[in-house]
Amino acid sequence: MRFLALAAFLTVACQPAAALWPLPRNLQTGSSTLRLSKLFTITVAGGGVPNDLWDAIVRTEAQLAKDKLGRLVVGRGTSDAKSFAGAKTLSKLTLKLGSGHKFSTLTSDAQKAPEDRDEAYELVVPSDGSPATLTANSSLGLFRGLTTFTQLWYEYEGTTYTVSAPFKIEDSPAYPYRGLMLDTARNYFPVSDIKRTLDAMSAVKLNQFHWHVVDSQSFPIQIPGFTELSAKGAYSSSQVYTPQDVKDIIAYAGARGIDVMAEVDTPGHTSIIAEAHPEYIACPGATPWATYANEPPAGQLRFANATVTNYVANMFTAMVKMFPSTLFSTGGDELNTKCYDIDAPTQAALKESGSTLEQALDKFTQATHKSLTDKGKTPVVWEEMVLVHNVTLAPETKVLVWISSENVKAVAQSGHKLIHAASDYFYLDCGHGGWVGDFPSGNSWCDPFKTWQRAYTFDPVANLTAEEAKLVYGGQHLLWTEQSGPENLDTTVWPRAASSAELFWYGPGGDVAKALPRLHDLSYRLRKRGINSISLQPEWCALRDGVCDLTA
């Protein structure tokens, strides 16, 4: 199967079907022109079709009508026009479930545990004008196939067409978790920006929105029973996510095949809680901040205090009622012990209990994670909770490897499933210069800028044994937003984040030279859909495959 997929890759790389992103794992194409009928329709075989799948079909038909993307060749399709007269016309695409399968909602399929999501599909588009067929065993699989179908077509002077029919595609992801993390605490992003990001994610078959919703700088989410946190911790009363906003975002994501995993990073990165509960935070606002925190303002949970532990556990219980995902991230990174060294209440609590700081952290972690597992949720943590701290984690806990890709091996040896999020490959904020004030020579800590090529060439199983490789859950790009806001969200993320979308869908080993024409195509198509994806090269290069390669 891998040989066939590689052969298909080598074939399609020089074919007009190069628009497809991520690349299907098994793809066969032809060289015939096929037009899309102006009366083209999508039908579904059988009854019981869920409303959100019907909505996805309507959106697909709208994209086919509105994309109007000219083929990225010199003349933008002029040379294709002569083949239109003799071309057959496709009038119908029929969706159907595999034998023995029943419809469930697209949203419920998307919100299953990643390993339980069935995203496989088969798409057949004949060249003779007979109906195309899309078959899958789930609504989610059908939706992934619809996403692929929209990428087959170009437009020239009112004709929507392909020059690569027939198509036969058998496709499924290499890894179950394919995500994007957005930090909405350093800077606030309106709901409309999050929805647009979800649209772009869906276009490249990403399935996990990791929402780093709060941090030391702000607490913008309103949690029922804990509204004092956002009332005192949001930047303003207009910069909050209400329960209805959260519900709206989750529904919007689910209808696009995406699950939403919330993160409340504890016990570090919590200084903002002091605005509502100063008694819960150690060394609040301590200076110089660089001594007591990785970013200003300093302040961390007094986790040695049982009252604080109970408060956080109860907050998690309230939050999981808002988020149907099976995954919930409790963070656990960048804990600064110097903060606790100078915090008298923490030292008194440790002395009274006869515990060390690490023992208190273990107790806090077990209690807060129990509030999640009691509700059927799987905790997700940053790598320090495995590699730095001696805490007890449930076997099913997932671990985000972020500090360096060199730490993947050690995390795998812990036996936990891991999510690739290494700063040396997947951090979208790197390379924009230092953001701290009064430091004119400063650079970002994770320089240099991480190009799409860098992420695309990552090997998820490098240096792992065959058994350790089975622990790779997937991976994601991440945007920490010290220097990002609504004004540059799209241009910072897209199309770079699409590189990991293909890496974790198709698998490693792709050729950046052959991927570039397809990524050009994707970026142009995203712009047609209202996502401000950047240009990767001068258009002169985009229209001429390979001529701007360094060795051309």
Residues designated catalytic: 334
Q: Is 382 exposed, middle or buried (0-12, 13-18, 19+ CB in 10 A)?
A: buried
Nearest partner of 378 among 415, 324, 333, judged by Cα: 324
Tokens 């040989």, residue? 3
Q: What is the DSSP string of 29-82?
A: EEEEEEEEEEEEEEEESSS---HHHHHHHHHHHHHHHH--PPPSSTTTTGGGGG
Which token pair is 124? Answer: 């057949």
What angle (nearest 5°) sits at the alpha carbon of residue 168, between those of residues 521 and 10?
55
Nearest partner of 335 among 368, 313, 357, judged by Cα: 357
- On the question of a cis peptide bond just before residue 126, with omega within 30 degrees of 0, the verdict is no
Residues 319 and 223: their CA atoms lie apart, in Å, by: 7
Residues 217 and 523: their CA atoms lie apart, in Å, by: 33
Which token pair is 168? Answer: 């036969």
What is the CA 51 to chain-centroid distance, rounded? 25
Q: What is the 3-state secondary structure (H, E, C) of 152-195?
A: CCEEECCEEEEEEEEEEEEECCCCCEEEEEEECCCCCCCHHHHH
